[in-house]
Structure 1
Amino acid sequence: MYNFSKLLLNENMKIYLRTRTWIMTGLLLALVVFMTVPVYFMSKDSAMSMWTLVKYESAVGYLLIAMFTAVVAAGSVAEEFTSGTIKLLLIRPWMRWKILLSKYISVVLFALLQVVLLYAFTIAFNFLFFDHTNVTAEEIHGFFVGDGQYEGSAAVYNMKYYAMRFIALLVTSMIAFMLSTVFRSGGLAIGLSIFLVFSSISIGPIIGLIDYKWVDYLFFVHLDLVPYLTGNVGDRTLGFAISVLAVYYALFAALTWFVFEKRDVGA
């Protein structure tokens, strides 16, 4: 366990010692500032609830987090091969699966940190400018509830929103990590991963409109779990959607492990 902790610490250091990591974090926090301040000056005369802006910023922020996590995950293994440092890593007395696991855990921890920062900063920063009364979700001009109904406070909805988004983030991060392992080129893995993040946003809703039963078993359809908060999902259930994602997650993880175990490092 001690050796694995050192391995995990080493992988985290690789992430946080890079300038791009802090640039991405800065961009995430700057997003909140650049959205909140102009809205504050444009709506000084209205009693706007902070939860309305928190929802908008969370939606855009999560898109950035998904993209940033894809960049980190896609480069985690592929960049080791590109730079040749993978040989130095594998000659150490660590089993390959432990090396792979430490890399993926570090990616998940990065994603979790970004989510926590976004959650805390959107609430704290908007708390300074807008009315922070914990209103019900229905009172926020219908933005929180969409076409369905959500009975509860905006604060509780916001927490559930983040939980639903994080489940999808775990799946997309695993896909990016798989691409990082399959492809030796870090640039190719990063490019494909970012393309996947953006395409999943547009392809999923379109595929979901196809009236065939087999569509329910495609993971693209279930990457957006937020509609389950309002019941606006037809006959599908949250349990079924998470189960489908879990199966794909396991398949992607198994393929990642298999490829990394069998890869000829000397090639």
Structure 2
Amino acid sequence: MGNHFGKLLLNENMKVFRRVRTWVMLAILALISILIPVLMREGLGSSEVVYWQPADTAVRVSFFLNTIFCVVIAAESVAGEFTWGTIKLLLIRPWSRSKILASKYLTVVGFSIMSTLLVIGMAMLTSYILFSHDAPLGNGLTAANAFTMWGYLYIDLFITLAIAFMVSSVFRSGALAIGLSLFIMFTQNIFSLIFNPDRYAWAKYVLFNNMDLSKYMHTSSDMGLLNGPSDGMTLGFSLAVLAVYYVIFMVISWVVFSKRDVAG
């Protein structure tokens, strides 16, 4: 059984990585992750900046595109089968619908991990070559802070992917999944301001108010941090809320895909 699922997983990965578009997206991510430290080195005119800072900046900027590219892969993972008319061919194979959907989801998550490691690796390598390795005592971005921030960025991406995958599974529309995910990316801060947990107690359970975990970092290096956590909200609380939403998204995806008629 495990061997059969492995073949199914391999098949799904081949669908993603045999497409030229996938490699173009990865190449763009690598290029941007390399280019930003280079531009910072030229702009600063000095290498006397600890390399974690330009690496962090490169990762943050690249992560915006990284999220978009991962959403594109997630949105088309299920919806694309309906668009191309290959869903019937897939379902007549000796695999359950749950396993088919699981293989697609694991492929999407695997791609997101690979693209994230690519961004971080290229940004760190380029920054390490171009900038200083010695941070002033008590100053500068530390490795711990950088990796914590990148972890928070990936959690945001992970939840956004879950939303895109759910919409793709439920509505069979890649365009809708991409559009809705981008809408969430662009407007989550706006909705956080409208549904402010300091004003409405129930708002702390709203998804948008828990996706940006960087607000729990209390360091001067958190550029772009507009608001700290509201009363009653902690990192553990936000992670628990996100976990509940994630389970809901996954359950909806599996239930709808398993029960929906795909004959038409």
State TM-score, norm by structure 1: 0.89
| RMSD over equivalenced CA pairs, Å | 1.9
**Match of 1:256?**
253
**Match of 1:171?**
159
Alignment partner for residue 229 of structure 1, among 217, 235, 241?
217
Q: Which is further off, 233-242 or 8-17? A: 233-242
Q: Deviations over 1:98-152 (max 9, x none)?
A: 000110010000000011111111111111111122556x623xxx6xxxxxxxx
Distance in 1 between the 2:116 and 2:208 partners? Answer: 22
| Distance change >3 Å, CA 99–CA 186, structure 1 → 2 | same
Say whether residues 1:247 and 2:244 are aligned partners: yes
Q: Deviations over 1:47-87 (max 9, x none)?
A: 12222211211111221111111111011000100111010
State TM-score, norm by structure 2: 0.90
- Which ranges in structure 2 are unaligned for 5 or more consecutive residues? 220-227
Q: Deviations over 1:11-53 (max 9, x none)?
A: 1111111111111111111112322222212323461222221
| Alignment check: 8 A CA contact 1:74 1:193 kept | no
Q: Deviations over 1:188-247 (max 9, x none)?
A: 332332223222354335534651111100111111111212284243111110010011
Alignment partner for residue 185 of structure 1, among 161, 164, 173?
173
Distance in 2 between the 1:135 and 1:92 partners? Answer: 61
SS at match of 1:133: coil
| Alignment check: 8 A CA contact 1:164 1:226 kept | yes
Distance in 2 between the 1:38 and 1:175 partners? Answer: 34
| Alignment check: 8 A CA contact 2:34 2:122 kept | no
Distance in 2 between the 1:206 and 1:155 partners? Answer: 34
Distance in 2 between the 1:124 and 1:169 partners? Answer: 23
Taking the TM superposition and a 5 Å limit, the aligned residue runs for 1:6-21 are: 6-21=7-22
**Match of 1:89?**
90
Q: Which is further off, 114-123 or 48-57? A: 48-57
